A = this chain, B = another copy of it.
Amino acid sequence: MIQEATTLLKENGLKITQNRLDVLCVFLGSEKAFTLLDLEKIFSLKHDRSSLFRSLQTYYEKGILEKFCNATGTAIYTLNRHKPDCNGKSHFKCKDCETVVSLPNLPTEYLQLLGNNKMETMNLLIEGTCENCQNKNPETL
């Protein structure tokens, strides 16, 4: 996985640093979403918050990570798994296990409801409980 991270960094013309490798491996090894605070906890001793922040920022700018806001307005990041033809960012995020799945484009019939309003960005976040977590917590909670 560190190999994969190294390659990605090279492909994007980024210097290979411990911070960047560490951060990227978190994402490469998981389907989950992470906030800056999550990373701070993971790397509390090893890396400073500002450096983690700057790595997230860099990855976002390079399109390696996606960034969006949860219901409370906190930025959350996930590996960008969207197809290049994607017309925006659509995700389902499990409130329990934090797993994020990318969803396909909104149907064009729906977008036609915009009429002559021109779409530039679009962001859809559906939150709920994933199949796994529903089975884990049968009736409880």
Task: List the B side residues contacting A75 at CB < 8 Å.
Answer: 73
Interface centre among A107, A126, A134 (most CB of B within 10 A): A126
Q: Which residue of B lies closest to A70 (CB)?
A: B69
CB within 8 Å for A126 and B115 given contacts A69-B71, A107-B109, A107-B110: no
Q: How many copies does the complex hold?
A: 2
Contacting residue for A128 out of B95, B121, B124, B131, CB 8 A: B121
| Cβ proximity bits A117-129 to B, threshold 8 Å, 1 near / 0 not | 1111111111111
Residues in A lying within 8 Å of B, measured CB to CB? 69, 71-75, 88, 92, 94-95, 101, 103-104, 106-107, 109-110, 113-131, 134
